[in-house]
Structure 1
Amino acid sequence: MGANEFVTYQSGVNAEEAFRTAVADAQLWHGSGGRTGTIAEKAAEGFVIVSAEPVSEATAEKTAARVLAGDDEQWAEIRDKRGPAGGIAVAGGQREHQVTIPAVPGGHADLEAAVVAAMSGKLAEGEFVVYREVSGEYRSEGTRVLGGRLTVPTMGARTQTGWLWFGNAPR
């Protein structure tokens, strides 16, 4: 019986919630019957925090690779397919905002203008909207957007945006 290395990013500042969400998503996509080789197998084992100080996703991935390569015996339990997952706090990764489009007389000129209005004051320094991934339900007349609720993905915040989870899991 082998093992697969896994590395997955999950948005969210709270480690416990982000871990549970990552496990649930993996179980949804890969099943929960065992031997998926994903973080889905770590529901019972839990996780250990390798670094709670937020770093870029690229730096987190390099650290995870070093831990998985066995360069540091301190983290041997993460390399064990029956051990916990490792977690590294990430800054600048993707996060999602649930926002309401503010009402204005005559509506907003288009969806981009509605997003700009809805996100006013919500972006952290360096953060930007990933417009191609905006989703939600809204009312419109022609191209004018009158109101609604949107999920607005962003990236680039210099604050913590999520967790990189990694380890070995049975397959």
Structure 2
Amino acid sequence: SPNGKRYARRDRAGAIGDAFGFSVAPLLARAVEIESLAAQAVADRELLRVTRERLTLCRRDISKLITAALDEEISGDWEGISAMFRALLARIPRVATAEDLAPLLDEMAMLRAEIVNMLERRIKTQKIDANESQIEHHKQNSNPDSNYELEPSFETKQGEKAAADNDPNAGPSDERRL
């Protein structure tokens, strides 16, 4: 309607002849376009949620790795790495889109990978050093007259020991054969 109001004109039978302000025909004509725009908005929102989640996890990992390295006094330029991390955090916009966060996420992932590589190299160096300087004593029972035997068939009974001492060619006693 020209004045923006909604009204209908009815004919003599009471049926609506002309209606103004009630038509949804323009929406129906663009229904496919509106549906595709709504689907795109949902996909963009999900991508933004996933990107923010990945960025948050990466930030937590980097923060914990730097803190652990400083606490354990691992050699390295941890202050410089911490400054790089703070600079990346400062670049995160307050209201961000997925396109804004994607390059920051890539840079943080590279920083995390670099930190992990530094720590792994440190661990490998410690393992190599520990193996070369580690001294282990070999534990061996050097007592040949030990009472402990591995096989029970070598056990001697009281009567057999005396007979074996007197006659080395003698076989087992008769008591044992029964």
- TM-score normalised by L of structure 2: 0.22
Work out which structure has the larger RCO, using CA pairs closer than 8 Å and 6 or more positions apart in sequence: 1
Higher share of residues assigned strand: 1
Higher share of residues assigned helix: 2
Higher-Rg structure is 2
- TM-score normalised by L of structure 1: 0.22
